[in-house]
Amino acid sequence: MICHWPATRSRFFPRFLKDVMIRPQLLVIAASVMLAHAAPSAMAAATAKTAPAAAVSAQNPLLKASPLPFQMPQFGLIKDEHYAPAFAEGMKRQLAEVNAIASNRQPATFENTIVALERTGQLLHRVQSIFSNMTSTNTNSVLEAVEVDVSPKLAAHGDAITLNPKLFARIDTLYAKRDKLGLDAESLRLLERYHTDFVRAGAKLSDADKEKLKAYNAEQAGLETAFAQNVLKETNAKSIVVDTRLELAGMTDSDIDTAATAAKERGLTGKFVIALVNTSGQPPLAVLTDRKTRQRLMDASLNRGSQGGEFDNRAIVLKLAKLRAERATLLGYANYAAYSLEDQTAKTTTAVNTLLSELAKPAVANARREAADLQQIVDAEKGGFQVAAADWAIYTDKLRKQRFNFDENELKPYLELNSVLNNGVFFAANKLYGISFKQRTDLPVYNPDVRVYDVLDANGKPLALFIADFYARGNKHGGAWMNEYVSQSSLMGTHPVVANQLNIPKPPAGQPTLLTFDEVTTMFHEFGHALHGMFSNVKYPRFAGTSVPSDFVEYPSQVNEMWAVWPEVLQNYAKHYQSGAAMPQELLDKVTAAKKFNQGFMTTEYLSAALLDQRWHQLAPSQMPTDVLAFEAASLKDAGVDYAPVPPRYRTSYFSHSFSGGYSAAYYAYLWSEKLDAESVNWFKENGGLTRKNGDWFRSKLLSRGGSVDALQLFRDFRGRDATVEPLLERRGLNAK
């Protein structure tokens, strides 16, 4: 299972524009280029809304910490026009705070420099956390225009901090004598991280090169924002319209009704709309029996961002790849991937290339064997065609039914959303960690479907607030992710407010929300991220929760997936939504037996995307291609993964993980994390599985530590040794000769 939206990190640090969302878009960083992409009407609306900044300031709920529990945002009071003046005031206050530190005539100390920096920017951090979350979950034309307006200002603001020579001189002085300061381990690590972050941000460059870097930062982030907004807008615009129910044969009546409702909302009464999700594969492909409809859907998905028109991302990709390479070269690196990986646990492009290349050949070989099995079914049915990408999902389901005598539709009546959440996700967390959940209806939310829960620790004390936003919307980015509205920090006296975002189609009123098993696994996965945030127990905001390398952050959440199929948990939530009858043991056994099924496809589609990400970002500025699609095709062929029935999970033109921030040059991270995950799952099994003792050990040694300790050391502290690759190969069925 691959989490759809990985952890993002701004190029700064927690009090400096920290983006705490587990998603691929860094939508609130420099975006001067986006001025050319904003719709005039949206810009006019934003201008009209934000012009009287002084008039709204006194009533602006963003300007002070929320009085709600754990400083949960006051969604009921926050209006679109509040963001722009709050951003302006936040930047103003932080620059004043930072300049006071840099100009302090007292000799630099850990307290008056590093700790003081950790305390700066509280207003800006609060505004950005809420705003960036809203532009992903509940955006509109006004917020998009505000985003365009504020992005270049944020870029300049960040550069004013990280490229401040007086400030860096104080940090550098402390770093030079760090071993003589008598700091505790977390404080020493904080000092070292600040020094590293400033150096990587260009603090040691000449004045002339700093000016070049500022220009790169502004244009690069603007292109990232343009890419992200194009993907979202085209995903909505490219939804396919179907004329008859017959063309949707194979879909459930409920899903067809949902498609009819979506069409009606667009003024297409009597027709049906199938909305796209962010991945290349589309869920309806697993059930649609009309091959023409399948092919239309597959083509619409694969062609996004590359067919001309206002949403075409190819020119943006070429500019962005070159800018990233030039920026990395300016900072002293061979290419952008080398720059990015230095700050990950992988460290080098050689390490990543080795991992991906070792898996590519067996993965594609498995996929070809799987395709041959699918072709046998097509031929037996006298289909008269060769298996293509649009056919893979539906014929895989048929093959699954043949081999294991079940299909996905048999599972769905036993996978009702509320039961999965309460009797599965929450149940497993209670068994492992002793925490409990109580839904609250007295706190404001930004959409009626959003839920809020008190999270109580094993001792009964409040631990966190958990926000659940499960349904898809047209103004919500696709995929699934976790984000933090408030991060834990003993220095700041804050407690976690974390959220999980999924994109489950909302059924018509009065009908149950029945999930696919993939959606169930995704719910467990994202809650693993939430646990990482909720269990944080660190002093400094810089290290809170998921503030770990991108190739480590998916690891704890992948571990949490194991409980979705753990017998005690599965039997507790997998009950028929009408009768309450437990899922038959025979069906449970088949679900377990099928875990390695279709792994050739799943590994190949993931590897293809990860390889593309690396190929784009391992280019030097002088090596840039001129044709995006030709470079993509050549890269896949060179890596041995150019297998048309299994397209990359994301093609270049809608690869938001890679080209709108977050996981650029780091999409390999899911596989890197899975190596640790596979080892950890074995550890849980070896030590008795779902027990408080095991949960408390995982929490104390790893989940609670955030980024306060080196990531791989955290794994060693938990597991007792380094990870090996064999459990991963065995899990994915790639160890067969």
Q: Which residues are catalytic?
A: 526
Q: Contact, 735 vs 729, CB < 8 A?
A: yes
Distance CA 520, CA 107 (A): 55
Distance CA 140, CA 322 (A): 31
Maximum distance among all Cα pairs of the chain, rounded to whole angstroms? 84
Angle, CA 147 vertex, CA 146 and CA 151 arms, to 5°: 115
Distance CA 223, CA 32 (A): 8
Write the CB contacts of 431 (distance below 8 Å, at least 6 apart in sequence): 568, 569, 690, 691, 692, 695
Each residue of 418-457: b (16+ CB within 10 Å) or e?
A: ebbbebbbbbbbbbbbbbbbeeeeebebbeeebbbbbbbe
3-state SS string for 621-664 = HHHCCCCHHHHHHHHHHHHCCCCCCCCCCCCHHHCHHHHCCCCC
Pairing mode of beta strands 481-486, 462-471: unpaired
Name the residue with tokens 């409990």. 436
Q: Which two tokens stand for residue 284?
A: 């309806």
Distance CA 55, CA 251 (A): 53
Which own/partner pairs from 566-573 qualify as long-range (CB within 8 Å, at least 24 positions apart)? 566/428, 566/689, 566/690, 568/431, 568/690, 569/424, 569/427, 569/428, 569/431, 569/690, 570/424, 572/423, 572/424, 572/427, 573/415, 573/419, 573/420, 573/422, 573/423, 573/424, 573/427
- Of 315, 323, 228, give the one whose Cα is nearest residue 619: 323
Which own/partner pairs from 292-300 qualify as long-range (CB within 8 Å, at least 24 positions apart)? 292/247, 293/240, 293/242, 293/247, 293/248, 294/390, 294/391, 294/394, 295/388, 295/390, 296/240, 297/240, 297/390, 298/388, 298/389, 298/390, 299/390, 300/238, 300/239, 300/240, 300/276
Residue 16 pairs with which residues in a beta bridge? 13
C-alpha distances (whole Å) from 284 to each of 232, 258, 407 are 19, 12, 14
Q: Contact, 734 vs 361, CB < 8 A?
A: no
Q: Contact, 166 vs 103, CB < 8 A?
A: yes
Q: Which two tokens stand for residue 248?
A: 């949707």
The neighbour count for residue 24, using CB atoms within 10 Å, is: 31
Torsion of CA 698, 704, 707, 712, to 10 degrees: -10
- Of 189, 206, 27, give the one whose Cα is nearest residue 706: 189
Q: Contact, 491 vs 115, CB < 8 A?
A: yes
Q: Contact, 420 vs 572, CB < 8 A?
A: no
Distance CA 717, CA 711 (A): 10
Distance CA 257, CA 409 (A): 17
Write the CB contacts of 247 (distance below 8 Å, at least 6 apart in sequence): 272, 290, 292, 293
The three-class DSSP label of residue 127 is helix
Q: Contact, 172 vs 195, CB < 8 A?
A: yes
Q: Contact, 451 vs 35, CB < 8 A?
A: no
Residue 274 pairs with which residues in a beta bridge? 240
Q: Please tell me what DSSP assigns to residue 67.
A: -
